[in-house]
Structure 1
Amino acid sequence: MMKILVQFLLITFLLANESKSLGQIAQALPQEKQEILRHIFQKYGVLGGSVASFSEKNIHSFSYGYAFPDSIAFSDSTFLRIASISKMFTGMIAMQLCEEGKLSLDDDIKKFLDFPLYNAAYPKIPITIKMLLNHTSTLKDSKIIVDYAMKTIFRDSSLQTQSIQPLKHISTKGNYHFLPAISTTKKGESIAIKPGEYFHYTNLNFVILAHIIETIEKKPFYLSVRERLLQRYSVHGGFIVQELPKDAILSPQYLWKNQTWHPEADYYTKHYDSVFTSILHYTPGLNVLRFSPQAGLRINCTGLASFFRQFLLDSAMQALRTKMFTSSWKEKLNNNAGQFDNLFKEWGLACHIIQTKQGPFIKDFPWIGHIGRANGAYTIVYMSPLHKKGIIILINGMKYQPKGDMGFAEIEKEIIKSILSE
């Protein structure tokens, strides 16, 4: 009887120190690190979030707070819209198509578009697939694009019927979607903003890239992600909320305003079909803004850790990883827009490269990954391919938001430092 009791208690202890996230299993981080992380989350007024670290052998995780204030806890199986980390998935598919000979990094994008999109200031310089992947296309984001995306994604309750308008409607004559040909530095120097040379981080790059993917694949973008990437590693998630498991908890993204948490995205009081425009008769290549390929992947922390852990260990992905993680742009004098507090010094294809000591990263270089910021949420994935390890941070909102166009937020630096410390 005593032996059975001991076995039962041992099993209970093991279960208490593991988290099973819809097929993904993570062990709890050591208690000492949990206490450090709990203090950090409290310090910055985090509503809810998860942290995961992964190595060649395992995944460890920690969760804190709420997915919904004072009601549903945030766990490592809680899904969250991970913002710009989504771009890495879009980029991976583009590179798979390159490996299959269906696309080339040097292809002029006009080959795949049914609307004109070129930098009128440099008409002889083609905008290539590579320029989309490494943010040197000189394309820019605009409020008009954001507004058009909102109309594409969400139903207008005042309309009895609503159809998704084609992406080609963004096309206008001239230089509308591109940066100016000349920019002036703080020192008053004039510099040329040339495609293929000047780095300017832009969401529109990955919208155009996903449109090209749909044109080639002849299927909706979200299906390509599911079939080519998520199913490969048995990870749940998707670029539309209907892709999530029926029992999934999807956390909104929050801003703290007037002493109250305000859900800014993925907060639904009605059925999804009443919120989103219908994709029942969606034609591939119509308008990929519907799936937010630059920011719209919903996935949970353990699933994201499992995905990138398997991606690093997958021998069939070796060539793709090498190409993706190889530098395709480096900062030089006057070739960088200096966004995110000049965080980006080097870029691969759809990923940030850190080669030397920067922020919380002090060894095990290079570190490859992406940051995400959207509607109050903060997300991060960075991995060390040589050491087969990485870190994931998902935060749905926090009271003490950084101000300005920052690089790594202080909370991110503290979390990464605590995880990477021996």
Structure 2
Amino acid sequence: MKPLLAMLALSMLSTSVMSAPLSEARAAALTRQLQAIVDDPAMPLPGLSVVALRHGEIVYSAQFGSKRLATPGAPAQPVDRNTMFRVASVSKFVTALGTMKLVEQGKLSLDMDISDVLGYRLRNPHFPDQPITLRMLLTHTSSLRDEGGFKWAPDVDLKDVLVPGGRFYGKGDAWSATHAPGRYFEYVNFNWGLIATIMERDGGERFDRLMRRLIFDPMRLKAGFYLADFAPANIDDVATLYRKREKDGNETWDPQGPWIAQADDFGVEAPTAPPGMDKYVIGTNGTVFGPQGSLRISTNDLAQIMLMLMNGGNYHGQAILQPHTVDLMFARQWTLTGDGENGNGDSDYFHGLYHAWGLGNQQFTDTSIVSRGRAGGDRLVQGGGFTGVGHLGWSWGLNALFVFNRDTKDGMIYVSSGVGANPDLQPGSFSSEARFQERITDAIYRGAIKAP
């Protein structure tokens, strides 16, 4: 059982705050600041959940707004500590925990030719003599690309997507024609679909159930990649994602218009299995389960994962991962050098966001640059001063951050369930992030982590 923390009542019914070892005045000031960000008419947020950790302890946890907005037939439902969000690419970080557990058990090897696990020869056809390894997939240096798609129906075998002559191979857009495997960083979702497929081939069970067995169940986390397996009570805890923009086809934002549900609108329709799921063959297509972006989990359960990693893989006396596995996961694998085609990575992607990478995790180097006429880089707080490891998430309006410093054991987690205006029109002042994202992170850092 997790310890219950007393609730600190606030005047706003849409806001709840967990008591924490911050002074009452400091916690109240941070809460007011975050509430002002949520309510900012320039970029209103439908819901926000944050957790701050300082020196290895949760010192602040707060929720704002609604997990489901009011409709003519139902009142709004507030975000609370049990609210689960589809955390977008933070899912990649959590998937990597399961991958590293299989590496720890000796079932997978980082530098093996993944052909040996997949059961067919897999090569980038432009570089046929270069094996592709699990390490390359985890570090976005595999030479795979998203241009050919990165999520496929249950009846598709990825062999038919990746191998010339396959029925879904097309023009071979899944492969880079210019960069050999292991040579060049480019952030690619498809890497994680292949990782999940390899995990299934090795583990002998569906990716979502494998993740439950390896990580979620031992930690008693209420989390999962496949909603059709969730109990109805858990479905009710999943937040709907919103934007003030049409869901499909219409890229026009209307900040004065209504919130439009983008994903997980389970107040209207319960989740169902994708067509053909009953005939899915384990180890053929892990993209079905969204290992790159479809994990549903609460910020408070993400905080439990963070605490486990801060403690060298130990969680309440149980070794979820061994310390050497945690060290290996966060060991620097790639660092940006040069620029553009003269460098070793796509430095222009999202205004210079990526500067270093571990095994399934971004390494935030506190770099602030100017990229294409605006602020860029991976800096997390105004003026600098915080480096860490973790991951960002962005999809369907949701935006998220999971990051911590292994030396100081300070960490920040936030998830917002949508945006009310085009974030591209509100760029950050010191990083690649939009200004509202910078404001959230900076508020958490100065309000809960940095010494007063």
Give the alignment's TM-score, normalised by structure 1.
0.83
Partner of 2:413: 392
How far apart, CA to CA, are the structure 2 residues paired with 1:137 and 1:63?
A: 38
How far apart, CA to CA, are the structure 2 residues paired with 1:106 and 1:222?
A: 24
Could you tell me whether the CA contact under 8 Å between 1:83 and 1:374 is conserved in 2? yes
How far apart, CA to CA, are the structure 2 residues paired with 1:172 and 1:124?
A: 14
Could you tell me whether the CA contact under 8 Å between 1:371 and 1:380 is conserved in 2? yes
Could you tell me whether the CA contact under 8 Å between 1:135 and 1:200 is conserved in 2? yes
1:342 and 2:349 matched:
no
Map 1:3-402 to 2 at 5 A: 14-16=6-8, 26-27=18-19, 30-43=27-40, 44-55=43-54, 56-70=56-70, 71-142=76-147, 144-146=148-150, 149=152, 151-152=153-154, 164-173=155-164, 175-181=172-178, 193-248=179-234, 249-257=237-245, 258=254, 259-268=257-266, 269-273=268-272, 276-277=274-275, 279-280=277-278, 282-313=280-311, 314-315=313-314, 316=319, 317=321, 318-333=323-338, 334-338=343-347, 339-358=349-368, 359-361=379-381, 366-402=387-423
How far apart, CA to CA, are the structure 1 residues paired with 2:117 and 2:46?
A: 43
What is the CA-CA distance between 1:165 and the residue it aligns to? 3.2
Larger CA deviation: 282-291 vs 402-411: 402-411
How far apart, CA to CA, are the structure 2 residues paired with 1:31 and 1:65?
A: 17
How far apart, CA to CA, are the structure 1 residues paired with 2:143 and 2:65?
A: 40
CA distance 1:209–1:27, change in 2 (3 Å): same
How far apart, CA to CA, are the structure 1 residues paired with 2:183 and 2:9?
A: 49
The DSSP-based 3-state class of the residue aligned with 1:343 is: coil
The DSSP-based 3-state class of the residue aligned with 2:232 is: coil
Larger CA deviation: 221-230 vs 264-273: 264-273
> What whole-Å deviation, never above 9, does each CA across 1:233-255 have from its counterpart, x for those lacking one?
22111001144453232112222
CA distance 1:123–1:40, change in 2 (3 Å): same
Q: What letter corresponds to residue 381 of structure 1 in structure 2?
A: F
How far apart, CA to CA, are the structure 2 residues paired with 1:401 and 1:390?
A: 28
Q: What letter corresponds to residue 34 of structure 1 in structure 2?
A: T
The DSSP-based 3-state class of the residue aligned with 2:129 is: coil
1:410 and 2:401 matched:
no
Question: More relative contact order in 1 or in 2 (CA 8 Å, sep 6+)?
Answer: 1
How far apart, CA to CA, are the structure 2 residues paired with 1:414 and 1:365?
A: 15
CA distance 1:401–1:244, change in 2 (3 Å): farther
Q: Which runs of 5+ in 1 are unaligned?
A: 1-12, 19-24, 153-163, 182-192
What is the CA-CA distance between 1:356 and the residue it aligns to? 3.9
Give the alignment's TM-score, normalised by structure 2.
0.77
The DSSP-based 3-state class of the residue aligned with 1:260 is: coil
Q: What letter corresponds to residue 145 of structure 1 in structure 2?
A: G
> What whole-Å deviation, never above 9, does each CA across 1:19-70 have from its counterpart, x for those lacking one?
xxxxxx9536711100011111222211112111124233521111112223
CA distance 1:342–1:53, change in 2 (3 Å): same
Could you tell me whether the CA contact under 8 Å between 1:65 and 1:74 is conserved in 2? yes
The percentage of counterpart residues that share the same residue type is 25
Over aligned residues, Cα RMSD in angstroms?
2.5
Could you tell me whether the CA contact under 8 Å between 1:230 and 1:307 is conserved in 2? no
How far apart, CA to CA, are the structure 2 residues paired with 1:407 and 1:180?
A: 28
Q: What letter corresponds to residue 217 of structure 1 in structure 2?
A: G
> What whole-Å deviation, never above 9, does each CA across 1:243-281 have from its counterpart, x for those lacking one?
4453232112222124122212112433433x6336455
Higher helix share: 1
